[in-house]
């Protein structure tokens, strides 16, 4: 089913980008006025990927903790703060094998698995490995061919099947991947601070929307009472 509908999903998925009030994390991400948001969207499309590296206590070689790096993109719903989709290339220090990891929201049919397609290339099949409160992660080996597709490609579409049997496409732009993958990792503390600031902005937006809805409801009730 996913194989049959993958091309259709790829054609339509990027049209959804304009309908999603989201934010791709890359450096300092702030949501302000409509005009500023439009300009920011242009900038984010060029730098939506970021490399994060940390020591992994569970991975050691000769008593030394190994670095684990993720060249990572995530798309966040600007109204809820939830991750709509994420994609990453995972590298472990000193290891030749790399992993392609994607995360989709909860509520997907696990037996169907996940597929990822770069432009017009053949779909890449991934298997679910973990589900948690934030979503479900699927993985496969990131071969040299896949890495090259990411470097040369314009768009990645992650396709999953929901519980109703309907395939859903999650678009991920590949602009900025090559620079992030080949470059140095970002400062983790600055990244976390930027992400925290983004979440605070989203919470303020939620509160403003809630207040507006309550005021509209109150005005409606007062109008009906007259």
Q: What is the pLDDT of residues 122-134, one digit of tens each?
A: 999 999 999 999 8
Q: What is the pLDDT of residues 151-170, one digit of tens each?
A: 999 999 999 999 998 999 99
Overall pTM surpassing 0.75 (yes/no)? no
Q: What is the pLDDT of residues 176-209, one digit of tens each?
A: 999 999 999 988 788 778 777 877 888 888 788 8
**97: phi then psi, degrees, rounded to nearest 5:** -75, 135
Cα–Cα distance for residue pair 139/113, rounded to 1 Å:
10
**pLDDT for position 143:** 96
- Our CA angle for 38, 42, 45, nearest 5°, is 130
Helix (H), strand (E) counts: the chain:
5, 10
Sheet strands (E) in the chain: 22-24, 50-61, 64-77, 83-92, 98-104, 114-118, 124-132, 135-141, 155-161, 167-173
The residue among 43 and 67 whose pLDDT is bigger is 67
Q: What is the pLDDT of residues 36-56, one digit of tens each?
A: 344 444 444 444 899 999 887
Cα–Cα distance for residue pair 187/39, rounded to 1 Å:
25
Query: Does residue 214 have a pLDDT over 60?
Result: yes
Of 56-65, 72-81, 136-145, the poorest mean pLDDT is in 56-65
């Amino acid at each position: 089913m996913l194989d049959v509908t993958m091309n259709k999903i790829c054609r339509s998925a990027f049209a959804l980008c304009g309908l999603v009030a989201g934010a791709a994390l890359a450096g300092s991400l702030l949501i302000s006025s409509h005009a500023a948001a439009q300009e920011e969207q242009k900038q984010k499309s060029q730098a939506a990927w970021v490399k994060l590296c940390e020591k992994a206590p569970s991975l050691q070689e000769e008593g030394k903790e190994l670095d684990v790096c993720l060249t990572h993109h995530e798309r966040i719903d600007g109204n809820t703060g939830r991750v709509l989709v994420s994609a990453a290339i995972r590298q472990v220090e000193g290891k030749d094998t790399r992993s392609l990891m994607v995360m989709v929201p909860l509520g997907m049919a696990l037996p169907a698995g996940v597929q990822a397609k770069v432009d017009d290339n053949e779909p890449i099949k991934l298997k679910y490995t973990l589900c948690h409160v934030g979503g479900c992660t699927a993985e496969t080996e990131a071969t040299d061919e896949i890495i090259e597709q990411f470097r040369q490609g314009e768009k990645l579409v992650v396709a999953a099947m929901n519980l109703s049997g309907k395939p859903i496409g999650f678009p991920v732009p590949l602009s900025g991947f090559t620079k992030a993958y080949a470059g140095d990792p970002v400062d983790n503390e600055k990244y976390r601070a930027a992400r925290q600031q983004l979440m605070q902005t989203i919470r303020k937006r939620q509160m403003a929307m809630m207040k507006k809805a309550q005021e509209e409801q109150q005005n409606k009730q007062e109008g009906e009472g007259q």
